[in-house]
Chain A
Amino acid sequence: MKFAIALFSPPHAPASRRALRFAQAVLDGGHEIVRLFFYQDGVHSASASVVTPQDELDSAAEWRAFVSRHQLDGVVCIAAALRRGVLNEEEARRYERDAANLPAPWELSGLGQLHEAAQLADRLVCFGGN
């Protein structure tokens, strides 16, 4: 079965961890993830600038490792990301900001990617809240 997973929560929210564990279980169960889409405060879960206390789960780092390891299509909403200061090299240059914090494997793209993912997948599962 094909899954699309959308995350609306930042890395310190339990929903980010829940989405991650769910995504891992999807692949472990032999299913496919057609796209991960990080929207609203979920864009922070893709940020490379997040520093997590040592005794807590570093879910932003885990997401990055997970997407890289499985070569997934990890898309971060560009409008949501820019307004929250989550920028890749190209956007940091475009808007003349000092730092970029969204390296590969993440891609910045538009909300249309969420719509398309919903069409491509058998199930769209969204994670947010607490």
Chain B
Amino acid sequence: MATLHLLSHSPFADGRLNSCLRLLGAADGLLLCGDAVYALQPGTTQLQILEQLPASIALYVLEEDLQARALPVPARVQAVDYPAFVELCGRYAKVNSWL
């Protein structure tokens, strides 16, 4: 049963991203929104780690939050809008928010 993980805290402020990465299943997805999109900042360890995840793990980012921070969309990551966010929730069996 694949899970969509929802992360909104900056990976430079706490350990949520690291904890999430330890728990990610092979078919899980990770959607970054809010300050969590800073994980995609070019040249960071965080981005490097995300880019090295197995291809079976889908990576998404909420487009408007990335745009608000003027960050580029890395090739490994798929940018989604709100309708696509809703659709993703249906595609995975569970949605887990890292509050």
Chain A interface residues toward B at CB < 8 A: 1, 3, 8, 14-15, 18, 21-22, 24-26, 28-29, 31, 122-130
**B62: which A residues are within 8 A, CB to CB?**
18
Q: Is B61 an interface residue (CB 8 A)?
A: no
Contact B9 A123 (CB under 8 A): no
Contact B95 A123 (CB under 8 A): yes
Contact A126 B8 (CB under 8 A): no
Contact B33 A18 (CB under 8 A): yes
Contact B89 A125 (CB under 8 A): yes
> What distance in Å separates the Cβ of B25 from its nearest Cβ neighbour in chain A?
17
Number of interface residues of B (CB under 8 A): 23
Given the known interface contacts A25-B83, A31-B86, the answer about A126 and B35 at a Cβ–Cβ threshold of 8 Å is no
- Inter-chain residue pair count (beta carbon < 8 A): 62
**What are 22 A-B residue pairs whose CB atoms fall within 8 Å in the complex?**
A1-B89, A1-B90, A3-B86, A14-B34, A18-B8, A18-B62, A25-B82, A25-B85, A28-B83, A31-B86, A123-B89, A125-B6, A125-B97, A126-B6, A126-B97, A127-B97, A128-B99, A129-B7, A129-B9, A129-B98, A129-B99, A130-B34
**A127: which B residues are within 8 A, CB to CB?**
8, 97
> What distance in Å separates the Cβ of A123 from its nearest Cβ neighbour in chain B?
5
**Interface residues of A: mostly helix, strand, loop or mixed?**
mixed
Chain B residues numbered 68-99 whose CB sits less than 8 Å from any CB in chain A: 82-83, 85-87, 89-90, 94-95, 97-99
- Residue-wise interface mask of B (16-52) relative to A, using a CB-CB cutoff of 8 A (1 in contact, 0 not): 0000000000000000011110000000000000000
